[in-house]
Amino acid sequence: MAKPVPVPTPETQFYWDRAKERELWLPKCGNCGRLHFSPRAFCPFCSSVDIGWIRSSGRGTVESFIINHTPGPGYAEQGPYAIAFVLLDEGIRLASNLLEVEQTPTAITIGMPVEVTFEERGEWTIPQFRPAGAAA
C-alpha cells in the first residue's frame, strides 16, 4: 500500500501546486495580516475572505514529536517513524514526518533546528522536514 496523498480543495490547490515546485507557502490574511495553517477560505482570526500567500523560509524547530511504532497506510515497510510538530520561523506550527534522521528519541530532540524537504509520492510532492543542514 502506498503512503497517503493529498486530495486538493480549491483552498489548498495553491499550496499543493507550490509544493510541486518544492516551495513551502503559507496563507496570510490581507485584513489582519496574520498567518494561519491549514489553508481555508476565510481567516480563522478575523473571518476575512481576503486570503493571500507568502513563501515560507522553510526553517523551524521541533516543538514536540512521537515515534510511531504502529504502521499507518504505506508505512509498514519503513518501521518506526517520527511525527513532529514543527514551529516555523514565521510562527506557524505544522505536523510533519521527520526525514533523513534516525527515528529515535536520542537522535530527534525538542528544539532541534529543521528545514523543509520534499518527499515525492507519485505525482505529488509532500513538504516534510529534516535536520537543518542535512545532505540533500
Asked whether the whole model's pTM tops 0.85, one would answer yes
Nearest to 2 by CA among 108, 78, 83: 78
pLDDT at 129: 98
What kind of architecture, by CATH, is found in domain 57-136? Beta Barrel (2.40)
User: What are the domain boundaries of the chain?
Assistant: 7-55, 57-136
Here the cell at position 62 is: 521541533
Q: Which three cell numbers stand for residue 77?
A: 515497510
DSSP state of 98: B
- The residue type found at 17 is D
**For the chain, what is the mean pLDDT?**
94
pLDDT tens per residue, range 83-104:
999 999 999 999 999 999 999 9
